[in-house]
Chain A
């Protein structure tokens, strides 16, 4: 029997403002516990929250970028519950009038575009951090009140891979907007998943479970994968799926039931009387819309059109705004887009990945990068050597010219300079020479390789091939 998974994701993203959502406390990470708190975020009596303008604008930006309908009238509500990480015993959130609704984002599935609905986007405050020790729990309220954006998808996701692609796409968009790093390993982005399975073709949904405690995009994909197999197995054995919250164990690679007494949640939402309503009029909408940058998918299409890049290159280059900007800066200096794309997607991204660094953290200016490519294209250094030069440039901050001069690795194209090595190679490889003369065209490439090796990759392979041909064909 074929089963279809039905998945909805609930994502929380911390916005990177300098101060908290309702007070002026710093949002800096890693400070001494409880050193960034005040009467407002501690929920002491008699104080008033005041909304951070930037957090609000950031939230509207994200909602717009996700194609949401922006609320003209939005308000905050109190979500009431008791937990030690919540000093007020309520969280200021948004209930019936979220600032954005009914949006979507596109993911790519086997070359096709699939649209995933966004049910709502709303702003709320983060809770504090709990650390559990043997005999008690420790509370740090520094995180309390950090602006948090909740983004709820529709149950339009039908595989763990689609969920993964949705998260990647969401992260790219939010990073383009510059409002959050979306780093899931650091807890800046958190993701819970609702998942059920149904028989292919059935209109009725199965019983869903809620998955928590995933701390990477891969973790989300793996947890969903496990949970689908678990649910299908239950149904195949004529057992029932129980509606419950399950936690992902990344070490054991399985989900397990939280086993709390599943009390129906009763948050008793009511309008937050300490905050006025917020009107996002046409003027404010225009203002914020104007500040939106070109988003990844639009940029990708433009790169394909303007620079005649393949979809693959355009996709890679636009995956990160910094990389896209770097590329476009380079194109202005050196208008051979395809050569640049090749260098960036190959050598440069490999250097970034191996160092686990962002482009901005590298010691590399577009000018110096383009100089290197120019030298390689002009045949001053071989491509193999140029890759090593790039590595040295990043390590030392020196220019390509400086490194090539210092290491004496200019490419040798001069026939006189190559003659000596070629003579030796011909002498040492009589069999290959005979093979070539006997009609095996490929044998000459072996000889070229030998010359390259002897010259420590400095020889210009094109020149070597030419010289070898003319020598052997005499």
Chain B
């Protein structure tokens, strides 16, 4: 399967990653190799195999609806680049 540069730049956009022309080139070749490698799996007959959504043999892990202590608000905002009145401040979102 061919991974063209458009596909790579689309995926990069979805992940909010900015790539240079040279990186696009390199990554599209590398991604193509990876996808081709994984394509080998298609040759295996998996009709009788259930899809794996979780690798450990566990299920139904719950917690009770009991409150625990939340973080101290100073800790919460400690790493925020910008804050105001206990809010995080981000660039204006225009809907």
Contact = CB atoms under 8 A, between A and B. Distances in A.
Given A18-B65, A26-B70, A35-B70, A276 B87 contact: no
Given A38-B71, A266-B14, A33 B59 contact: no
Interface string A263-300: 00010100101011111000000000000000000000
Which bracket fits the contact residues of B?
Answer: 35 or more
Give the dominant DSSP class at A's interface.
loop
A243 to B, nearest CB: 18
A468 B20 CA distance: 103
B54 interface: yes
A276 B61 contact: yes
Contact of B90 (A24, A37, A56, A137): A137
Contacts, number: 122
Contacts of A140: 87-88
Which bracket fits the contact residues of A?
Answer: 35 or more
Nearest to B76: A34
Given A50-B63, A55-B65, A33 B86 contact: yes
Interface in B48-82: 53-56, 58-71, 73, 76-77, 82
A139 B68 contact: no
A136 interface: yes
Interface stretch (A127-135, A181-189, A366-374, A391-399): A127-135
A52 B62 contact: yes
A18 B86 contact: no
Contact of A75 (B54, B86, B87): B54
A264 to B, nearest CB: 10
Given A33-B87, A34-B73, A35-B73, A276 B92 contact: no
Nearest 4 Cβ contacts at the A-B interface: A24-B68, A138-B87, A53-B62, A54-B65
Interface of B: 14, 16, 53-56, 58-71, 73, 76-77, 82, 84-93, 95
Interface of A: 17-19, 23-26, 32-39, 42, 50-56, 75, 80, 82-84, 130-133, 135-141, 258, 260, 266, 268, 271, 273, 275-279
